[in-house]
Amino acid sequence: MTRGRFITLEGGEGAGKTVQAARLRDALEARGVGTVLTREPGGSPGAEEIRRLLVSGPVERWEPLAEAMLHAAARRDHVLHTIEPALERSDWVISDRFVDSMIVYQGYGQGADLEVLERLSALSLGGFAPDLTVVLDIPVAEGLRRAGARAESNRYERMGTEFHERVRQGFLARAQTDPERFAVVDATAEPDTVGRAILRVVLERLTVPFDG
């Protein structure tokens, strides 16, 4: 059996990751590709428990490296229990955020050492990496405006505009250093347009198997 492919959607608050992850799942399913939609932090029972520690409570709750370690522990559980088994049975996996959010939020955003975060990432994932990472790029004010329209803000949304500006630049910087894995998509357009741009990248970069 051919192994499935692993796609991650990244970007700041309100960029449209959750909306577009579901659209991409639908587009792939319509092409006959079995698809699992998942998210970080979370995506497996253990990792969802850790998620609660990360997304709620006061902004200053965690020291940045401790916070990254919680993300890494959750991610290892997520990969072992959800992502790997899906890829093994030939499903494609779409994750709403993954390791790049940890490196960008805790590193660029909160000031943890980038090299230490890379080591933590390698330690927790081994050689495992996404086949494709789509960064949804949007000006911070527009993303926060979209996210702010939702009922409840989470801990990360409360971290302030300068933090979110560093996060935006962090994603763009990471994408530039690894253009083979990353693609940056303008997320300011309407959902249909953004969805078409994402699907175009997926079809260009990854071979979608024929139905049946």
Ligand X SMILES: Nc1ncnc2c1ncn2[C@@H]1O[C@H](COP(=O)(O)OP(=O)(O)OP(=O)(O)O)[C@@H](O)[C@H]1O
CA distance 161 to 170: 14
Total residues interacting with Mg ion, rule: CB under 5 A: 2
CA distance 38 to 18: 10
Give the residue with the Cβ less far from Mg ion, 37 or 87: 37
101: tokens are 């959010």
| Per-residue binding letters, 14-53, with Mg ion (x by CB under 5 A) | ---xx-----------------------------------
Q: Which does 147 bind (CB under 5 to 8 A by kind): ligand X, Mg ion, none?
A: ligand X
Residue in 6, 10, 17, 183 binding ligand X, rule: CB under 6 A: 17
Residue type, 22: A
Within 8 A by CB and 6+ apart from 34, the residues are 4, 89, 90, 91, 92
Facing residues of 9 across strands?
96, 134
8 phi-psi bin (left φ>0, alpha ψ -120 to 50, beta other): beta
| Per-residue binding letters, 152-191, with ligand X (x by CB under 6 A) | --------------------------------------xx
Q: How far is the CB of 86 from ligand X (least distance, A)?
A: 21
Stretch that binds Mg ion, among 13-21, 26-34, 115-123, 187-195 (CB under 5 A): 13-21
